[in-house]
């Protein structure tokens, strides 16, 4: 195999891992937020928000949650949300680096 194709495979794997981790973090953040707001079936909302190619489930959740203010949030939930947001940012960086590397390795 050529070095260029090996680099493309590595970059594609990095982008794939970043994408999967981003979807997982969006799911977890949505479940925590839906639980805090008192919505029924928070895991279903998390699945809906993390599913779909055009993020229609996330938009539906964001529109639907406007009617449910935050009831109460304890420090444990708040720290979990902060950790999940940081992890989502890191996974987005992995995805961007992987995609850029893939584009560069294919174009060279």
Q: What is the pLDDT of residues 19-39, one digit of tens each?
A: 999 999 999 999 999 999 989
Average pLDDT of span 89-99: 96
Helix, strand, or coil here: 92? helix
Q: What is the DSSP string of 10-57?
A: HHHHHHHHHHHHHHHHHHHHHHHHHHHHT-S-HHHHHHHHH--SS-HH
Q: Which domain holds residue 65?
A: 3-107
**Mean per-residue pLDDT over the chain, rounded:** 91
Q: Does 90 score more than 90 pLDDT?
A: yes
Q: Does 74 score more than 80 pLDDT?
A: yes
Task: Identify the band that residue 57 occupies on the pLDDT scale cut at 50, 70 and 90.
Answer: confident
Residue where the block lists tokens 């294919």: 106
Q: How many domains does the chain have?
A: 1
Q: Is the pTM of this model over 0.95?
A: no
Between 99 and 72, the higher pLDDT residue: 99
């Amino acid at each position: 195999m050529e070095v260029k194709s090996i680099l493309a495979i590595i970059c594609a794997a990095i982008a794939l891992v970043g994408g999967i981790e981003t979807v997982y973090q969006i799911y977890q953040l949505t479940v925590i937020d839906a639980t805090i707001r008192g919505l029924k079936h928070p895991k279903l909302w998390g699945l809906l928000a993390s599913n779909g190619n055009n993020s229609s489930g996330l938009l539906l959740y964001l529109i639907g949650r406007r009617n449910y203010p935050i009831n109460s949030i304890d420090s444990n939930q708040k720290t979990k949300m902060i950790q999940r947001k940081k992890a989502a940012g890191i996974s987005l960086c992995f995805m961007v680096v992987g995609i850029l590397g893939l584009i560069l390795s294919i174009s060279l």
